[in-house]
């Protein structure tokens, strides 16, 4: 080896290495940090962004156990696509808005078909299709119509499925009491009015009942009633029972909430300070038909509720909700989700400070005239937020007691309780 040449070349080698290191460090310093925060999928139709089309896509995938309350049950795990949805809404003028929402629900191994076109498995269908016009110059009055989700009774009757605080809507679906009874998956065809005046907001709807719902009485005591008054003319021969009126009214003491879309947020995870109290109703004149007397009876429900969602310290969130509901379908009648009587629901969750975890509990209790015992539902779960509500995992223990509609009966003819463990992976863009 030529040591003299090496000694002469060494300073040049050190200089080149130093220059390369400096350039590499500078390149790394100038390389921007990747932003993984959620950005809405929005197509701007004007330079200022006031005219736009926004798209929302979400999937909720579940793994759940079989009913562990069954004696000698062998553990089984079932995969299902709980929801697969696509929603788009557009605004090309501050005076009007159009929204379309479609998807499928509850695709399981039990209802898959060989080629996906046999007609027995869940199919893509319309969830929402409505248009809306701004009537006032402020936010006091908007009027819209179509297949819509502007519902009455409670906040959770208008629950968004994008940002549940719990794993899902509490089951039995007392808040979605009309689901598949008089509507299409919690949506009615009709017209609505909404508005916001300071801290107060409201929604009112005038709808037609669907004709193909789950109308039979599910009580134990029997009622002689069916929920098909719209299909039975008056004794005079005149049609009746074709109108549903519902509404919800709310006052927010702290931050106001958006009424642009009907979907109510489950938790803001500390980004807002919200405390609201509300009252709602659902009325269906002559909606019921008594098969013994040949007379019609009216459906009348009302409810009051309160919602709290706020940070207590640094990067945490307390969430609490409570509702009292009074249902009246007629003597002893029990529908698929609710029944003549009263129900209460409550939930509490807390996002731990500087953490991705949010444990919660939820409880509902219902006393229906047509059942002998109090129906109870209890959920205890844990959310893990990977990227807020945009990407999260939820593990939940779920039980329902004394509800023949959910558990059926055991081999001895007694009401079978329900007990399951459920895991959800949720992503929306």
The pLDDT value recorded for residue 6 is 45
The pLDDT value recorded for residue 5 is 45
| Beta strands at 317-327 and 341-351: parallel, antiparallel or unpaired | antiparallel
Q: pLDDT averaged over consecutive 10-residue blocks of the chain (429 residues)?
A: 52 54 58 75 93 98 97 95 98 95 94 72 88 98 99 98 97 97 97 98 98 94 95 93 99 98 98 99 98 96 99 97 99 98 99 98 99 98 98 98 96 95 98
The Cα–Cα gap between 271 and 257 comes to 12
Tokens standing for 236? 């005079």
The pLDDT value recorded for residue 113 is 82
Residue 104: which residues within 8 A CB-CB, separation 6 or more? Answer: 81, 83, 84, 122, 123, 124, 125
How far is CA 239 from each of CA 56, 235, 292, 299, 309, rounded to the nearest angstrom? 41, 9, 19, 17, 46
pTM of the predicted structure, to 2 decimals: 0.90
Domain spans of the chain, in order of start: 38-428
Tokens standing for 28? 């790394």
The Cα–Cα gap between 25 and 36 comes to 24
The Cα–Cα gap between 295 and 148 comes to 31
Q: What does R_g of the chain's alpha carbons equal in angstroms? A: 27
Asked if residues 406 and 420 have their Cβ atoms less than 8 Å apart, the reply is no
How far is CA 171 from each of CA 176, 313, 374, 399, rounded to the nearest angstrom? 9, 32, 15, 9
The pLDDT value recorded for residue 114 is 78
The pLDDT value recorded for residue 267 is 99
**Fold (CATH) for 38-428:** Porin (2.40.160)
């Amino acid at each position: 080896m030529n040591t003299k040449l090496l000694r002469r070349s060494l300073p040049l080698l050190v200089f080149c290495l130093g220059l390369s290191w400096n350039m590499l460090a500078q390149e790394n310093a100038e390389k921007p940090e990747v932003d993984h925060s959620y950005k809405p999928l929005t197509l701007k139709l004007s330079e200022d962004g006031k005219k736009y089309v926004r798209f929302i896509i979400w999937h909720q995938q579940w793994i759940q156990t079989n009913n562990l309350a069954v004696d000698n049950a062998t553990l089984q795990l079932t995969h299902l696509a709980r929801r697969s949805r696509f929603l788009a809404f557009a605004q090309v003028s501050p005076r009007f808005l159009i929204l379309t929402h479609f998807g499928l629900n509850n695709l399981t191994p039990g209802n898959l078909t060989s080629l996906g076109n046999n007609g027995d498995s869940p199919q893509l269908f319309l969830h929402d299709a409505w248009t809306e016009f701004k009537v006032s110059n402020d936010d006091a009055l908007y009027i819209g119509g179509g297949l819509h989700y502007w519902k009455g009774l409670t906040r959770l009757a208008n629950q968004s499925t994008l940002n549940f605080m719990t794993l899902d809507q509490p089951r039995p679906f007392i808040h979605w009491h009309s689901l598949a009874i008089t509507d299409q998956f919690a949506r009615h065809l009709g017209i609505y009015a909404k508005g916001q005046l300071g801290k107060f907001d409201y929604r009112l709807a005038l709808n037609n009942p669907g004709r193909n719902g789950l109308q039979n009485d599910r009580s134990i005591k029997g009622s002689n009633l069916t929920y098909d008054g719209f299909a039975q003319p008056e004794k005079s021969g005149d049609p009746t029972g074709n109108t549903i009126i519902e509404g919800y009214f709310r006052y927010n003491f702290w931050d106001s909430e958006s009424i642009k879309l009907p979907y109510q947020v489950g938790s803001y995870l500390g980004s807002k300070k919200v405390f609201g109290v509300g009252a709602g109703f659902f009325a269906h004149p002559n909606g019921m038909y008594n098969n013994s007397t040949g007379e019609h009876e009216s459906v009348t429900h009302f409810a009051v509720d309160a919602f709290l969602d706020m940070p207590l310290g640094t990067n945490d969130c307390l969430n609490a909700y409570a509702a009292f509901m009074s249902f009246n379908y007629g003597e002893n009648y029990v529908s698929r989700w609710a029944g003549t009587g009263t129900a209460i629901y409550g939930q509490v969750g807390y996002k731990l400070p500087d953490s991705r975890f949010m444990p919660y509990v939820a409880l509902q209790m219902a006393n229906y005239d047509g059942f002998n015992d109090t129906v109870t539902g209890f959920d205890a779960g844990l959310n893990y937020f990977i990227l807020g509500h945009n990407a999260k995992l939820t593990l939940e223990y779920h039980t329902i007691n004394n509800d023949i509609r959910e558990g059926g009966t055991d081999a001895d003819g007694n009401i079978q309780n329900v007990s399951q463990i459920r895991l959800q992976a949720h992503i929306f863009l």
